[in-house]
Chain A
């Protein structure tokens, strides 16, 4: 239960660079990365009017539901999910078994191009997450220093 997922600046910058390149190379409107628990990790492209926190939670819900369906039909997992809209389309894939990569694109791109670029980006992202998981395991003892007073103070206002 109490395991943690820790992200440091170095990995965040690497992830952001991969997402920015994917946005460019796939002609995407938005590239979005979240984890399976609904936490936003990174988001690049036209994100100004996008509620990224809600998006992260709903994407995680969707991947969880798809995983549930996969189990019912004896499939391991659906690695890719595609939504086709009137204007915009959404391509969702799972990276390194635990992270959700979402690409939102319109008619300036195509599903074929997106899939091709996602494949390359996924390999790079998987390497970054491998490093992240190693660092998480070795762990920062930051919160070991939290006192009861620190916690109480948060609620004293």
Chain B
């Protein structure tokens, strides 16, 4: 749910990075944070376990520029990917404005990807949302690994809705900003549609 503040002329929207454990959600957000000018970003908060697995969420606010005299700010969140953190995932999904699904391209992670997409669908349905109506972008991450599955196959399994898709290598930033820009555009277009 976007927050429009006429006092400081700001719009704030919430984007959630979703996907199975170790697919690179946090790496996406860390790359964006590291590559963004200091004045355009807030602190990156990671509620993680001692082994740096996301326990609750990662979060940081990002300023993207002005639109019709309003500053746009995006709050980027990641969810914990491991299956047993579903209660936390549900909390973070509440009132979102856009979703990025980060899929792990490795062959052996395809089941985990499918399970995570299904989990996203279920959790959105539980809160009365439909994935087809939410600004949504698919990212095929870890394209540099030798065991990466063909994109065609991933598309067939994970992206039946035909959401905009990007190939990525998050630790080196390949595809990371392209993904973010696309979801931000969709969120703003959605904002227009709903006013």
Contact = CB atoms under 8 A, between A and B. Distances in A.
Contact of B3 (A5, A12, A155): A5
B6 interface: yes
Given A7-B3, A39-B3, A61-B57, A51 B42 contact: yes
Q: How large is the interface on B (under 10, 10 to 19, 20 to 34, 35 or more residues)?
A: 35 or more
Nearest to B75: A38
Interface string B119-136: 000000000110001100
Interface residues of A, number: 40
Interface of B: 1-7, 11-12, 14, 42-43, 45, 47, 56-57, 59, 61, 64-68, 70, 72, 75, 87-88, 90-92, 94-97, 128-129, 133-134, 181, 184-185, 188-195
Given A3-B1, A39-B12, A65-B56, A140 B195 contact: yes
Contact of A144 (B3, B43, B192): B192
A142 interface: yes
B68 A154 contact: no
A152 to B, nearest CB: 8
A2 B194 contact: yes
Contacts of B56: 61, 65
A155 B2 contact: no
Contacts of B96: 1
B42 A54 contact: yes
B94 A37 contact: yes
5 contacts: A1-B96, A2-B2, A8-B7, A155-B181, A155-B184
A2 B190 CA distance: 8
Contact of A141 (B43, B47, B133, B195): B195
A68 interface: yes
Interface in A1-59: 1-9, 12, 35-39, 51, 53-54, 57-58
